[in-house]
Amino acid sequence: MLSGPIFILIGIGLFTFNQINNENELLERLKNGNQNKIIEYETENGKYTTMKTIKMSVDSVWLYENQFEIEKYSQIGRITSENNYSSDTTKISVTNLIKCLEKGKIKAIYRSK
């Protein structure tokens, strides 16, 4: 009789644990080797694009933003060409990046080729 609610609580706990681990893993990827990282993320209008890190300090990250967006995350590889990044530098606080991570807006962080 109690086994149903217990399994639901265990499932919720495992899901929450996995989400926290995923966020921590993405943040560690960003911190390790602060340059030449690609950040894939969902924009405010629900499309997807990338940013490329060029410098990181304790409280800020400097980036080149991709000039293109794409409708489906599964097709983000189509816009990751080096030629697609702006030459203008954007500065973002680490706090804002963490908020985006917590909201699930950042989809992946990996080393640039």
CA atoms within 13 A on the CB side of 58: 0
State the total domains in the chain: 1
pLDDT tens digits, 58-103: 788 899 999 999 999 999 999 999 999 999 999 999 889 888 888 8
Query: Between residues 37 and 24, which one has the greater pLDDT?
Result: 37
Q: Which percentage of the chain shows pLDDT scores above 90?
A: 42
Q: What's the pTM value of the predicted model, to 2 decimals?
A: 0.72
Give residue 65's domain range.
3-111
Q: How far apart are CA 24 and CA 46, in angstroms?
A: 23
Which is nearest to 24 in space by CA: 93, 112, 109? 109
Rounded CA gap, 21 and 10, in Å? 16
